[in-house]
Amino acid sequence: MCVAGVLGTGSALPDKVITNQDLEKLVETSDQWITDRTGIKERRQAAPHETTSTLSILASRKALEKAGIQAKDLDLIICSTISPDMPLPSTAALVQSGLGASGCCAFDLAAACSGFLFGMTVAEQFIRNGTAKYVLVIGAELLSRYLDYKDRTTCVIFGDGVAAAVFGPVAPPSGILAHELHTEGHYADHLFIPAGGTALPASSYTVEQGAHYIKMRGNELFKVAVRSMEDVSRQVLEKAGLQVADLDLFIPHQANQRITEAIRERLGMCSEKVYSNISHVGNTSSASIPICLDECAQSGRLKRGDLVLMSAFGAGVTWGAVLMRW
């Protein structure tokens, strides 16, 4: 039975930077208000010609190069996104074509901010049972396309970005050690986009009402997110027979710096072991954790043998954690 691990990572961020000062000109807010409540100073915004698939292709090429394999070697492509190029075909199919990975299976996965961890878990199953050898998992979001720049509760938080990782068989003790995933639809109305689906198809009325923008009940989500991410983090550690003290690095979903700090305190971790890039990237939903992972890999923050915990919470609501030996 194979053990699945990361062979290479890559990311792609749009060039355009939206600062807190830029947002002060669009909505009633301030740099101090945004920083105090979210920890965010700036976020990226995709150019009109950029799409979820085009940025995904860029990130994926970097990941493939780092992994030392070619696109034709891939057996599966999983694209985690809630901001696809279009309702159909899947963004993964467009990425497959752009990479020249003809013939391999490719599909999208929608689990919002937890999506990359859901994709990792699916990839691990395929590799472990021998169905696939190399799997490309992408976390990709262009959330600026869904932001109402009159709503300061959402437009100050979300940004655009993409990251990818190639998974394949690795030699123990490296690889994915444990994972845990959850969904609770009872909280679906806490973070959602009302229009654009079969319940409320796009029309001049939905556009006029701003129903195609992200709606969020942030205060209610805060408590649920902290509790869920702490619980699921402890669950994967218990599954692997390890303790918080054994961790070398904790990469939480970059939702809000206050959420990160609350989870860190609950887990009893020192700040040096917790990675954060929210100040300059913002909340990029399913791209959040893989962007962090790529930054850590490229900067040398991650070293072979390091024990890494990743935990996320997102719309659905979904939450999950993956424990991995680098």
Catalytic residue among 20, 79, 253, 256: 253
- Smallest CA-to-CA distance from 308 within 113, 171, 176, 166 is with 176
How remote is the C-alpha of 41 from its chain's centroid?
19
Q: How many Cβ atoms from other residues are within 10 Å of residue 249's Cβ?
A: 22
Catalytic residue among 155, 283, 292, 296: 283
The DSSP secondary structure of 135-196, one letter per residue, reads: EEEEEEEEGGGG--TT-TTTTTTB-EEEEEEEEEEE-TTSEEEEEEEEE-GGGGGGEE--SS
Please give the DSSP secondary-structure letter assigned to residue 274. Answer: B
CA distance 291 to 163: 5
CA distance 238 to 36: 34
Q: Is 113 a catalytic residue?
A: yes
Residue 238 has φ and ψ, to the nearest 5°, of -65, -40
- Classify burial at 314, counting beta carbons within 10 Å of its beta carbon; exposed 0-12, middle 13-18, buried 19 or more: buried
Q: Is 253 a catalytic residue?
A: yes
Instruction: Tell me the helices (H) and strands (E) count for the chain, helix number first.
Output: 10, 13
Give per-residue burial for 41-69: e unless 16+ CB within 10 Å, then b: bbbbbbeeebbbbbbbbbbbbbbbebbeb
Catalytic residue among 20, 79, 104, 113: 113
Q: Is 256 a catalytic residue?
A: no
Residue 9 token pair: 């990572």
Residue 300 has φ and ψ, to the nearest 5°, of 90, 5
- State the catalytic residues: 113, 253, 283
